[in-house]
Amino acid sequence: MNLKNRLQWILFRRKILKTQGIITHITSYVDDKSILLGPNSIGKNSHIINSKIGRHSYVVNARIVNTQIGSFSSVGANVSIGGLGKHPTKWISTHPIFYSTKKQSGDSFVSNDLFKEHLSTRIGNDVWIGNNVLILDGITIDDGAIIGAGAVVTKDIPPYSIYGGVPAKCISSRTSPEIAAALKELAWWDLDDNILRKISPLFTMTEVSLPLIRLIIDQINKIKNENVTE
């Protein structure tokens, strides 16, 4: 990032984002290609590049590149998501001089790019990413997943699962497959904040279960019907 971009960020863009309910540390940076739906919190030394972050998701300290993050997700400290690039592993050489025009080593043998080095990464809704996690390009982490501290994620992560280790492997599931499917269908993260505020006590009253999800659905429908009749 050059000095001009840094000054624009400090003097102007941080203030504009604040009016949208987006709190950013002065040492952080969000480029003008990124979209933050707000409210959000972006912690110190975080860099958000060409990415989209959903409402109520927050970042403690991370480098996030070419990534879409859903709503209500939590990103811990010293996390790196996307932007690392890939090298071909099944060709004679992994060196970019044979397939990239970017001249990473100061030269290139090709006039056209022959390999897609950077892929988009997708993080779902209600995802918790622990400290010191590394997520490679092109990975999808589905809704409700938890990534343990220090993990290196090299493959897609299914919904409501808990992964950890190097490389990251499944440790356990947060719920049964039936409950995970019901939560995906509920998609509570898409609800209006006014509705979520009213039903929020149900989120912490007991462990998640199918009867609890049905109760939440009933309460949502009740609130929506009340709003229609008002």
Mind telling me the catalytic residues?
A: 87
Give whole-number Cα distances, 68 to 81, 129, 186, in Å. 10, 14, 21
- Which token pair is 124? 């779902």
- The encoded tokens of residue 68 equal 């879409």
What number of other Cβ atoms are within 10 A of residue 206's Cβ? 9
Task: Round to whole Å and give the CA distance between 187 and 88.
Answer: 37
